[in-house]
Amino acid sequence: MRYTAMILAAMVVFTGCASPDLQKQIAKAADRYATALIEAEQAKQEAKAAEAKEREAAAEKAAAAAAEAAARRKADQAAGGLSGSQQFIWKPVSEKGALVVLLPAAIEADECLINGSIPGAKRDGRANGNRIHFRWPEKGGYYGKDITVTAKQDGEVVGEWSIPDGAKRVD
């Protein structure tokens, strides 16, 4: 289309079908049209470049936010999850009648042990501040005193807490 208008203008100018003044006007119009087309193409390219920059900036921002969230989770885990809604809870007698442990929300665990070797806890999803719940079949007092609770993910320790007396709540 760009070249069609230019070719038609050139044909009119060079075939002598128009007066010299009209030929000049047609030549100017053809120049303006060609310039406008070039400027439109440049504007398109600039818009594409701006969109690419915006996408790149958004991706960098998302990556930075993900890295910050990961750093916060790691810091919460390193601190033992004892701050705010990231609190660990040992509840010796839950509403269901037996021990329940609530892990800090930042911790992802697929296994929870008492004293490193007493299994039996069933993972019961997330609730109460997005914390994973592990439930045992007995009340907390059954497990004695000076207890260590260990949370693991894929066999790796992701959290550990000390419980002085299994019969008493720890938050």
| Domain identity same for 95 and 71 | no
> pTM to 2 decimals?
0.50
CA atoms of 98 and 147, how far apart (whole Å):
16
In a domain, 170, yes or no: no
CA atoms of 122 and 157, how far apart (whole Å):
17
- What pLDDT is attached to residue 87? 86
Specify the DSSP class assigned to residue 127.
E
Query: If you average pLDDT over residues 124-133, what whole number do you get?
Result: 85
| Domain identity same for 146 and 88 | yes
Structural domains in the chain (count): 2
In a domain, 171, yes or no: no
Quote the domain boundaries for residue 45.
2-76
What is the per-residue pLDDT across 37-81, written as a single tens digit (0 to 9) for each?
Answer: 888 888 888 888 888 888 888 878 777 766 766 666 666 555 554
In a domain, 44, yes or no: yes
| Domain identity same for 14 and 41 | yes
Q: Which of 58, 76, 94 is the last residue of a domain?
A: 76
Confidence band, pLDDT 50/70/90 cuts, at residue 84: very low
What is the per-residue pLDDT across 146-169, written as a single tens digit (0 to 9) for each?
Answer: 999 999 999 999 999 999 999 999
| Domain identity same for 24 and 71 | yes
Task: Please report the DSSP string for 34-93 in residue order.
Answer: HHHHHHHHHHHHHHHHHHHHHHHHHHHHHHHHHHHHHHHHHHHHHTTT-SGGG--EEESS
CA atoms of 80 and 36, how far apart (whole Å):
65
